[in-house]
A = this chain, B = another copy of it.
């Protein structure tokens, strides 16, 4: 194993963080050895904060402001920006936007982009590994930011200890369609752009989603991320919620579930390519995908 990489990583060298994540993403055996050697205590102390919501809600701006507030508290922070655009045609824009925001020269702000395109499985696993690498490098908080509200975003959210759902006025009826999903994944609802028309209506809509009056107070927060308004309060709320969940044991239970999800995701990633190749070779003889899949599995499983 590359011990100097491991020690540079644990000393907080941002380039060592990037190198370690690349090794894992490229399935380099040195990366896997590194993963097994990471400081478990730091991983346990780190808070993994998911930030999700529809395009245009202001997630990147909010993330930039959260980084500022986290840094004001002298905490090291990592950001994993999960981007639906492809690495081939010039993706990784979320990460670029965050990087350009003010923190480019701050070695305690570590940013990594990951593309969802072209993957079948493997994103949760890779993102989970990146989280642990950043945590082991000393990040007190690792933010996972995703665009979109699809299933892969939901899966990534399952890696987070706490999840913020960022909404903003102007999405019309689609917000209604999202409500149920929002409730299931969001620990905190952020009504961003709260100075814009329709923000009050959105806030009240979200209030009706939460039935418990106590919850309303705790779980909905208004921000104007472009001006930094409400962001320090949001971070405060996040850290309070973390402390509460740690003391209740909920934190560890979610971590245990994440472990299962990540392991399953890695298994799927490792299986996808050989299975696809096998299907390609045998496809012409089958008449229906469901039957073809059953036939395939009969032939490969013990």
Contact = CB atoms under 8 A, between A and B. Distances in A.
Contacts of A36: 287-288, 291
A93 B294 CA distance: 32
Contacts of A297: 267, 270-271
Nearest to A24: B290
Interface of A is mostly: helix
A84 B178 contact: yes
A105 interface: no
Interface string A264-277: 11111111100110
Contact of A35 (B262, B275, B290, B302): B290
What is the count of identical protomers in the complex?
A: 2
A280 interface: yes
A226 to B, nearest CB: 11
A91 B267 contact: no
Interface string A158-202: 000000000000111111111111011000000000000000000
A24 to B, nearest CB: 7
B259 A289 contact: yes
Nearest to A151: B152
A288 B177 contact: no
Contacts of A97: 173, 177
Contacts of A38: 288
A261 to B, nearest CB: 8
Contacts of A266: 289-290, 292-294
Given A289-B128, A296-B267, A181 B301 contact: no
A265 B269 CA distance: 12
A241 interface: no
Interface string A70-101: 00000000000001111011110110010000
Contacts of A150: 84, 116, 146, 148-153
A271 B300 CA distance: 11
Nearest to A282: B263
A183 B291 contact: no
A181 B267 contact: no
A149 to B, nearest CB: 5
A183 B153 CA distance: 21
Contacts of A286: 263
A180 B289 contact: no
13 contacts: A35-B288, A84-B149, A91-B180, A116-B154, A117-B180, A129-B289, A132-B288, A147-B174, A150-B151, A262-B289, A266-B293, A268-B268, A302-B302
10 A-B pairs with the lowest CB-CB distances in the bound complex, closest first: A150-B150, A266-B293, A55-B174, A151-B152, A262-B289, A85-B180, A89-B180, A148-B150, A56-B171, A93-B177
